[in-house]
Chains A and B, each alone.
Chain A
């Protein structure tokens, strides 16, 4: 069980929005996590690496800062075993590379500018995730 947290989630979402707006206002860039990560990887990584590495560094140290500045300690409850974390990770890596985006790039940046590609991608991965969760939790799990 997890507890319904509308206010906290809305606030977290607003912070994500603020970050997305910052990146577009100052750098003219989409804050798509999979795109920023993937474009640094071989083969043919992008030449403009600085801002991307800085953004990813910010993501990685955010937990440390959050805990030490606000005292808020986020909960992480893994839902599957190590072999499935590995398999799922590979599947996510392949999927977001093919679809050129994930929850942030398509689901937030793309929807915010009403991109037809992003709307189609978001509806597809939402449906696919829901179907997968149903299979994992109700058909296999119990």
Chain B
């Protein structure tokens, strides 16, 4: 049952991100291009998502547990540390150059775009390398 729910959630998420324009690198870049061809559309993507998620999360967390699991798995870490801020700054550089973020890349690959495939392979490499270095340093 959890598999079917997750599959549906993935399809809904992917359809949403494709419809919203977040899978189009040109649209992503234009959202951030305040000094040029500004396209504010992506503010509405985040707005629409938060409008649904924020009140729903608030109500959901009043329940003792989720419908199909033992507990809510929510990060407990409250520290604003260097990896968080440094990592976010690094992510922004890559997002700015390519217009692709991790949530958009699989739906973009699904459209058959070869540039998206290339980005994804590189992203997985970057993820694995970072995980490897971090696990060795602990």
Could you tell me which A residues sit within 8 Å of B by CB distance? 1-31, 33-34, 37-38, 41-44, 50-52, 54-66, 72, 74-80, 82, 84-100, 102-104, 106-109, 111-113, 115-117, 120-122, 124-138
Could you tell me which B residues sit within 8 Å of A by CB distance? 2-27, 29-30, 32-37, 39-42, 44-54, 56-57, 60-61, 65-75, 77-80, 83-104, 106-113, 115-116, 118-132, 134-135
Q: Does A64 lie within 8 Å of B19, measured CB to CB?
A: no
A122 to B131 Cα, complex, angstroms = 21
In the complex, how many angstroms separate the beta carbon of B68 from the nearest chain A beta carbon? 5
- In the complex with contacts A63-B110, A92-B91, A28-B73 CB distance below 8 A: yes
Q: Does A98 lie within 8 Å of B87, measured CB to CB?
A: yes
Number of A-B residue pairs, CB cutoff 8 Å, is 493
A87 to B69 Cα, complex, angstroms = 39
Q: Does A58 lie within 8 Å of B80, measured CB to CB?
A: no
Q: Does B29 lie within 8 Å of A33, measured CB to CB?
A: no
A13 to B104 Cα, complex, angstroms = 12
Chain B binding site: helix, strand, loop or mixed by DSSP?
Answer: helix
Pick from A14, A54, A97, A132: contact of B93, CB below 8 A.
A132
A9: which B residues are within 8 A, CB to CB? 20-21, 41-42, 44-45, 48
Q: Does A137 lie within 8 Å of B89, measured CB to CB?
A: no
User: What residue in chain A is nearest B56 (Cβ atoms)?
Assistant: A21
Q: Does B24 lie within 8 Å of A55, measured CB to CB?
A: no
Q: Does A51 lie within 8 Å of B3, measured CB to CB?
A: yes
A97: which B residues are within 8 A, CB to CB? 87, 126-127, 130-131, 134
A109: which B residues are within 8 A, CB to CB? 53
B94: which A residues are within 8 A, CB to CB? 87-93, 95
Q: Does B29 lie within 8 Å of A79, measured CB to CB?
A: yes
Q: Does B88 lie within 8 Å of A92, measured CB to CB?
A: no
Q: Does A137 lie within 8 Å of B33, measured CB to CB?
A: yes
In the complex, how many angstroms separate the beta carbon of A50 from the nearest chain B beta carbon? 5
Q: Does B32 lie within 8 Å of A129, measured CB to CB?
A: yes
Q: Does B42 lie within 8 Å of A89, measured CB to CB?
A: no
Q: Does A108 lie within 8 Å of B120, measured CB to CB?
A: no
User: What residue in chain B is nearest A142 (Cβ atoms)?
Assistant: B36
Q: Does A55 lie within 8 Å of B6, measured CB to CB?
A: yes
Pick from B23, B34, B80, B119: contact of A85, CB below 8 A.
B119
